[in-house]
Amino acid sequence: MKNPESFSKRQEANARERNRMHGLNDALDNLRKVVPCYSKTQKLSKIETLRLAKNYIWALSEILRIGKRPDLLTFVQNLCKGLSQPTTNLVAGCLQLNARSFLMGQAGEGAHHARSPYSTFYPPYHSPELGTPPGHGTLDNSKSMKPYNYCSAYESFYESTSPECASPQFEGPLSPPPINYNGIFSLKQEESLDYGKNYNYGMHYCAVPPRGPLGQSSIGHSPPHLIKSEQMLGHCVIGTTLFNVFTSF
DNA sequence: TAGGCCATCTGGTCCT
DNA sequence: AGGACCAGATGGCCTA
C-alpha cells in the first residue's frame, strides 16, 4: 500500500465495509428487539440472536400450524434449543420458569438423537405434532405427566393487570415503544434507571419472586418486588409476545 | 489468564 | 471498473 492512490482507495473500501457491517449490526439489533428477551444491558451475541430467532420463528409457526398453545415450559425449551447456558438462563428467567427443572430438561441436549429428557414435562393433552425445532430430535409423548401449570398463574397475573398499566404511555420519550409486528409484541427490557418510575408497566414485566433463587417462582407480587427481582434477572422485562401467544387461542 | 465476542482491516471473488 | 460480499487475521475489551 505504498501508492497514495491505492491507499486512498483502500481507505474508501474500508469505510464502505465498515458501513456495511454497521448496517448488518443495525439489522441484528432490530432482530434482537423482536425475539424474546430483549435486553439493552445484556445484549445477546450475534450468534445467539440468530439462533433464538430461528427457534422463535419455528416455535410460533408450530403454534400456528397446530392451532394449540403449548405449555410454557415446552415453548421456552424449544426457544432455547442450541443456545448457550447464559442465554438459556436469561430466557428462562424472563419467562419465570423453574430454572432448575428447566436446565435439567436442557441437559443432554447435545445428544440430539437420544430421547429428550424434558419430554417428561410434556403435557398429555399436547398434540403429538408439536415436536422440536429441526435438527433437535423428537419429543417423547408417551408419558402422561401432569402439565407444567404455568397458565393459571401466568394468566391470572396478566388478568389482574389493569389495562392502563399495559399502556406504553408511561415510557419516556427516549424509550422506544413496544415493538408490535402483526399484533405480536416483543419482550422488552428497560434500563435500570427507569425502574423507579416505570414499575407499573405491568404487561411488560415478568412476575418474579421477591427473594430467593430464580427457580422459586411466584407470580403476582407488588411492583417493588418486581423491581428488585427484575434487577436480579438482569433487568429482564417480559413483553406481551407470549401473553398474546398463550392467551389468543 | 484464557476464552468469547466484537470491530476493523484486508485481499479475493462475484456481480452489475 | 467499481462496488458488494465474504472470510481470515488481528487486536481490544470483558468476564469467569
pLDDT digit string (tens) for A156-181? 323 322 222 222 222 333 333 333 33
Who contacts A67 (Cβ-Cβ below 8 Å, separation ≥6)?
A: A249
Whether A13 sits with its Cβ under 7 A from any strand B atom: the answer reads yes
Whether A29 sits with its Cβ under 7 A from any strand B atom: the answer reads no
Strands A180-181 and A184-185: antiparallel
Whether A26 sits with its Cβ under 7 A from any strand C atom: the answer reads no
Give the span between the Cα atoms of A170 and A178, in whole angstroms: 11
Who contacts A30 (Cβ-Cβ below 8 Å, separation ≥6)?
A: none
Q: A185, A179 in Cβ contact below 8 A?
A: yes
The set of strand C positions with any atom below 7 Å of a protein CB reads: 3-7
Task: Please report the pLDDT score of residue A57 as a whole number.
Answer: 92
pLDDT tens digit sequence for A206-234: 323 333 333 333 333 333 333 333 333 33
DSSP structure class, residue A242: H
Nearest nucleotide, CA A20 to C1': C4
Nearest to A223 by CA among A159, A157, A179: A157
Spell out which residues of A between 36 and 75 contact strand B, using CB within 7 Å: 43, 45-48
Whether A18 sits with its Cβ under 7 A from any strand C atom: the answer reads no
Task: Please report the pLDDT score of residue A64 as a whole number.
Answer: 92
Task: Please report the pLDDT score of residue A2 as a whole number.
Answer: 54
A180, containing H or E segment = strand A180-181
CA A84 to each of CA A51, A64, A89, A109, A167: distance values in angstroms, whole numbers, following the listed order = 10, 27, 9, 11, 33
Nearest nucleotide, CA A46 to C1': B5
The set of strand B positions with any atom below 7 Å of a protein CB reads: 4-12
- Phi, psi (5° rounding) for residue A14? -60, -45
Whether A17 sits with its Cβ under 7 A from any strand C atom: the answer reads yes
Spell out which residues of A between 91 and 110 contact strand B, using CB within 7 Å: none
Question: Which residue stretches of chain A have pLDDT < 70?
Answer: 1-2, 40, 95-249
C-alpha cell at A112: 440430539
Give the span between the Cα atoms of A45 and A29, in whole angstroms: 10
Whether A9 sits with its Cβ under 7 A from any strand B atom: the answer reads no
Q: Specify the pTM.
A: 0.54
Using left for φ > 0, alpha for ψ between -120 and 50, and beta otherwise, residue A234 falls in: left
Q: How far is the CA of A32 from the C1' of C3 (A)?
A: 29
Whether A68 sits with its Cβ under 7 A from any strand C atom: the answer reads no
Whether A2 sits with its Cβ under 7 A from any strand B atom: the answer reads no
Q: How far is the CA of A138 from the C1' of B5 (A)?
A: 32
